[in-house]
């Protein structure tokens, strides 16, 4: 079942980090300290990777889904989004 804003806001810290999954590889990690981080899990060239999408609430659920969709388009075009992000960081 996809995530909702109310489920995310209601997620509380625990003694250990835990994962709330959305769909198509998008998930939110709720850390023991209570911080919430978005990730996108994907497969590129038979290798599983994950891409950090930002911290909730700075990145909303809708924005995280948009970032996931943009990364999926890159993968479909033959571009690894993590490698592209790293290359862009090295050029700045």
**Domain chopping of the chain, boundaries:** 5-91
Q: What is the pLDDT of residues 18-63, one digit of tens each?
A: 999 999 999 999 999 999 999 999 999 999 999 999 999 999 999 9
The CATH class given to the 5-91 domain equals alpha beta
Q: Which conformational region is residue 86 in: left (phi greater than 0), alpha (psi within -120 to 50 degrees), or beta?
A: alpha
Is residue 58 a contact partner of residue 38, using CB atoms and an 8 Å limit?
Answer: no
As a whole number, mean pLDDT of residues 74-78 equals: 95
pLDDT at 23: 96
Cα–Cα distance between 55 and 42 in angstroms, integer? 19
């Amino acid at each position: 079942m996809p995530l909702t804003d109310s489920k995310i806001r209601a997620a509380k810290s625990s003694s250990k980090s835990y994962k709330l999954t959305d769909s198509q590889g998008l998930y939110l990690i709720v850390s023991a300290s209570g911080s919430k981080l978005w990730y996108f899990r994907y497969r590129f060239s038979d290798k599983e990777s994950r891409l950090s999408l930002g911290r909730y609430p700075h990145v909303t659920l809708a924005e995280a889904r948009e970032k996931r969709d943009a990364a999926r388009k890159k993968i479909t075009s033959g571009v690894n989004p993590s490698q592209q992000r790293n290359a862009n960081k090295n050029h700045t």
